[in-house]
Structure 1
């Protein structure tokens, strides 16, 4: 799905001076693959963030199946919080990792682990195994910082507000609709939502494998004709995030106090 060979600078100027449907048409006409990449990544974010609340209405039945002797409130807290904790940790580490190895590997590996976690959660044998697999899924889905970095890599700063609205709308819609989708799908079978979302994740993984390109490059060099002649990864030194462990400690303390 190659992009158009039109002069990208000229296209971008037309793009930023256009509005509404004309702007969308220019994007589809001159950058179809880039539009496909962003659309697939937004679908991935939607599925991953829906995972936070998809099992919320199903916790009484999962508790009855996996750990009937445990208190209902404690079991529900463990099942829901495990995913959120994993997402928090994943969000803290995914950005620095993508700076070192690239955005594409982080997306693909994360989506692979995410799909696997849903299939494993569907066949979990007790509440602790279910919580561990859910935490793995949350960890794999904590790639929103990578998506933001991807958008910064590929877009003009003038488009930041537009992409910010897209991302926020996607996340909020996913979290809001998750309980309704989970409850409706569970009418087929209790584990059906987990199998279905695992399958959807596999489909997205295959599509992203063939469509998604690496975006984290250093400045490219061009020849006299303006064509890219060399693109290299950014070799600038990456500094450790000194706030990583204090942040995790504060989150753990907050969770303990709330409990």
Structure 2
């Protein structure tokens, strides 16, 4: 009798293909979050103080609109041409967009930079498809958790570096983000072998795959994907409200500068590392993806409720507790739902489904910032209260579906 093989340690998993893609995710998130602490300050150079929240939200919404159009197309292209070419295209587009944003000079230049970034926003869907290509279904949850931890590390270090660079120049974080995107592209070119072999690729592209609405409709015909996409949409709306509004909230209610905003966002990264890298991989095998996802949504929504109370009680303690709950719940939900979506995707269409998922999240990211700006004008805590409602709706939907599935299974067994 052979001794059972020990579970691979985090270090062991980092030495394989998952480690390479995790480093790429880290660089991706670090580059993206470098600009968050300085975004409202960059916009403030061109508009009045009363218009900052609106234009920050609009710039984020423009990126989401372009990503909505491009993500499923890039996902389908990764099914046809492989993951690496799409990753390289997306990373080079990111480098160009950050450089344009850093050059600035006018508000329309900032918008142009985000348009370029959105039209080449295929890196995340290609990375998740890469993991699906290289991992068995039962391995995907922990693997997505590892990627989430890597992203959390990037989310932790990126804002801190961005805030510190922002003390030198508001453009410095943008150039730093462009440099990280170039470094990421070099890493992909040198150390990431193609995961999608030519014999497994789709036979060709057709015009329907360039129609974002047709792709979404195709994915939504799958009953499992339809439910999961709806849950992810509600969650993405809540997350986008926080991402688009947090820097403005901290600047106006707590008088935080770029460096202080950066350190708050670094705390999000720390909690992401704990929840996705350490807690989620241990909970998933024991409780399953669906239960962990529901728990994550409930914790996340509770954090949003606490953040909504900052408008009444603007204290550092409430901010810390709310952000910790929000991020811990996010860390449990993200790898769980990613594994559920990957398992529900039809064979040979991982890239297309992941792209459609990113695209439908972009719809939430289009309307989330605009709704956040409007609600913030009514009451500073209103965006977070509305986001919490969406997240709790997602949790109740997923729970109701789980209960229905369990009852149907019991009925079949008793028949």
Same fold by TM (over 0.5)?
yes
Cα pair 1:99 1:238 within 8 Å, conserved: no
Q: Give 1:45-194 correspondences, 5 Å limit.
A: 45-67=25-47, 71-175=51-155, 178-194=158-174
Cα pair 1:63 1:127 within 8 Å, conserved: yes
Does 1:234 find its partner at 2:201? Answer: yes
After TM superposition, give the deviation of residue 182 of structure 1 in Å. Answer: 2.1
Matches of 2:186 and 2:20, distance apart in 1: 11
Render the CA deviation track for 1:145-199: whole Å, top value 9, x for unaligned. Answer: 2112111222233321221211233345544654433222211221111111211
Cα pair 1:119 1:198 within 8 Å, conserved: yes
After TM superposition, give the deviation of residue 213 of structure 1 in Å. Answer: 1.7
Render the CA deviation track for 1:10-42: whole Å, top value 9, x for unaligned. Answer: xxxx9x933143x854x68xxx6xx2x533432
Render the CA deviation track for 1:74-100: whole Å, top value 9, x for unaligned. Answer: 222233433444444443332111011
Over 3 Å counting, the alpha-carbon distance change for 1:203 and 1:60 in structure 2 is: closer
TM-score (norm 2): 0.46
TM-score (norm 1): 0.69
Higher helix share: 2
Unaligned runs of 5+ in 2: 221-358, 375-415
Residue 19 of structure 2: which of 20, 39, 55 is its match? 39
Over 3 Å counting, the alpha-carbon distance change for 1:257 and 1:59 in structure 2 is: closer
Q: RMSD of the TM alignment (CA)?
A: 3.5
Aligned residues: 224
Matches of 1:48 and 1:139, distance apart in 2: 16
Cα pair 1:115 1:199 within 8 Å, conserved: yes
Cα pair 1:90 1:143 within 8 Å, conserved: no
